[in-house]
């Protein structure tokens, strides 16, 4: 059986005034049922572009240069627009950072959930089913909840409703782009717990895109670390957090204020900036910031496959 979601050699560019900006470069990933994949990286690494490409909803100016996005084995990018729309919502669903923008402010929650479900399959739009789904995402008094408007809800509640909406059609893949970034610590913890519970009860794949290392560590089974549009390291969450091999992953983990002992004084940092994505160097993109660079690093780094689902893009790593 094919994986619910697999991305194959995907490259995405933006046409900008200064030329061609390479946002995602030759990314290959796949997620299995019941698995949570974390895509981790800092601003400009291309993680949100990758997430948008996974449901082929890229912003204006973005263009897929090569590669494919397979949903249950079918390449979505090759389907006609109507078939893609049917796939979105039914097989792949997405949850955004700010759930407020995902709702229509003048319609009640119940109406929107019913419209959304009804558009794909009217049988699923019954009030009983909606109430059951809201209860499943931990909303108290779900029956009364259907009559409320989006602005009456807190950020945490809206995010729960957004997740309920995404799950209504029982998709095979749920993609969440920074699902907790707009929330307070306590709400963040609650959403993490909800997603963790869903992993066991919902028979699909979950992709979490975030820059928050804590969220990745709490929630994910496998992690892909992105830098300058590439996946520089991929592995189990334990391998990434406890046996990272790529110098960027190590540096990133080392400078998180949540990890560093407060009594140690200064926090470590990563010197320099990400390279200009419109004029990338031929060699390793991390070279100018790397403290362990070799002369060979001026050449494109090899993707070293260490095990199934464990790879590193670095000259220093030996297979």
Partner 1 sequence: MTPVLDLQNLSVDLPLGGFLSRARLTILQDVNLTVARGESVALVGESGSGKTTLARAVMGLQGMSGGEIRLDGQPVAGKAGLARLRRDATMMFQDATASLSPRLTVGYLVTEPFRIHRQPLPDPDRMARDLLATVGLPAAIARRYPHELSGGQARRVGVARALALRPRLVIADEPTAGLDVSVQAEVLNLMADLRRDMGLAYLIITHNLALVRHVADRVAVLYLGRVVEEGPTAEVFAAPAHPYTASLIAAEPKPDPRRRRADLAIKGEVPSVLRRPSGCEFHTRCGLVQDICRQNAPDLHPTTTGRLARCHFADQNQEQGDHHALEH
Partner 2 sequence: MSSAVDDITLPARRGIGRALLRDPMGLAGLVLVVAFLAMALLAPWIAPYDPIALNVKAKFQPPSAAHWAGTDHLGRDLLSRIIWGARLALGISITSVGIAGALGLVLGLVAGYGPRWLDSALVLVFDSMSSLPMIFFALAVITVLGPGTTTLILVIVLVSFPSYARLIRTQTLSLSGADYILAERAMGAGPVRIIFRHLLPNVVGPMVILICMDIPVVIMLEAGLSYLNLGVKPPSPSWGNILAEGYNSLRQAPHIVVIAGIPLVLATLGFTFLGEGLRDVLDPRGAGRRWT
- Asked if 184 interacts with partner 1 (CB under 8 A), we say yes
- Asked if 145 interacts with partner 2 (CB under 8 A), we say no
Residue 307 backbone phi and psi in degrees, to 5 = -160, 175
Closest separation in Å from C-beta 123 to partner 2: 30
Binding residues among 187-206 for partner 1 as defined by CB under 8 A = 187-190, 192-193
- Asked if 52 interacts with partner 2 (CB under 8 A), we say yes
**x/- string (CB under 8 A) for partner 2, residues 280-319?**
----------------------------------------
Tell me which of 255, 280, 306, 317 binds partner 1, using CB under 8 A: 255
- Choose the contact partner of 206 out of partner 2, partner 1, none; CB within 5 to 8 A by kind: none
- Asked if 165 interacts with partner 1 (CB under 8 A), we say no
- Asked if 61 interacts with partner 2 (CB under 8 A), we say yes
* Closer by beta carbon to partner 1, 34 or else 155: 155
* Closer by beta carbon to partner 1, 269 or else 318: 269
Chain residues binding partner 2 by CB under 8 A are 14-18, 21, 23, 42-49, 51-52, 57-62, 96-98, 177-178, 274, 277-278
Q: Which residues are near partner 1 by CB under 8 A?
A: 42-43, 154-157, 184-190, 192-193, 211-218, 220, 237-238, 241-242, 251-253, 255-260, 262, 265-270
């Amino acid at each position: 059986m094919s994986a619910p979601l697999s991305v194959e050699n995907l490259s995405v560019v933006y046409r900008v005034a200064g030329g061609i900006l390479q946002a995602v470069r030759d990314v290959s990933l796949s997620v299995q049922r019941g698995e949570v994949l974390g895509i981790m990286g800092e601003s400009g690494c291309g993680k949100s572009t990758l997430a948008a490409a996974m449901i082929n909803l890229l912003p204006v100016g973005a263009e897929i240069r090569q590669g494919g996005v397979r949903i249950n084995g079918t390449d979505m990018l090759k389907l006609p627009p109507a078939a893609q729309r049917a796939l979105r919502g039914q097989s792949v669903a997405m949850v955004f950072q700010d759930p407020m923008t995902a709702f229509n402010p003048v319609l009640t929650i119940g109406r929107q959930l019913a419209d959304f479900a009804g558009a794909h399959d009217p049988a699923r739009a019954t009030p009983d089913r909606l109430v059951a789904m809201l209860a499943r995402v931990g909303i108290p008094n779900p029956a009364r909840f259907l009559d409320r408007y989006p602005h009456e809800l807190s950020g945490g509640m809206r995010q729960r409703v957004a997740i309920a909406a995404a799950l209504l059609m029982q998709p095979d893949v749920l993609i969440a782009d920074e699902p907790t970034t707009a929330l307070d610590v306590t709400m963040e913890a609650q959403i993490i717990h909800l997603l963790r519970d869903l992993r066991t009860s919902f028979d699909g794949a979950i992709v979490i895109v975030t820059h928050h290392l804590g969220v990745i560590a709490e929630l994910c089974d496998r992690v892909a670390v992105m830098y300058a549009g590439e996946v520089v390291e991929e592995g189990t969450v334990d391998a990434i957090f406890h046996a990272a091999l790529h110098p960027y992953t190590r540096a990133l983990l080392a400078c998180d204020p949540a990890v560093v002992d407060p009594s140690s004084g200064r926090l470590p940092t990563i010197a320099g900036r990400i390279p200009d994505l419109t004029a990338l160097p031929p060699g390793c993109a991390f070279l100018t910031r790397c403290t362990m660079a070799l002369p060979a690093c001026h050449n494109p780094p090899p993707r070293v496959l260490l095990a199934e689902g464990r790879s590193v893009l670095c000259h220093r790593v030996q297979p």
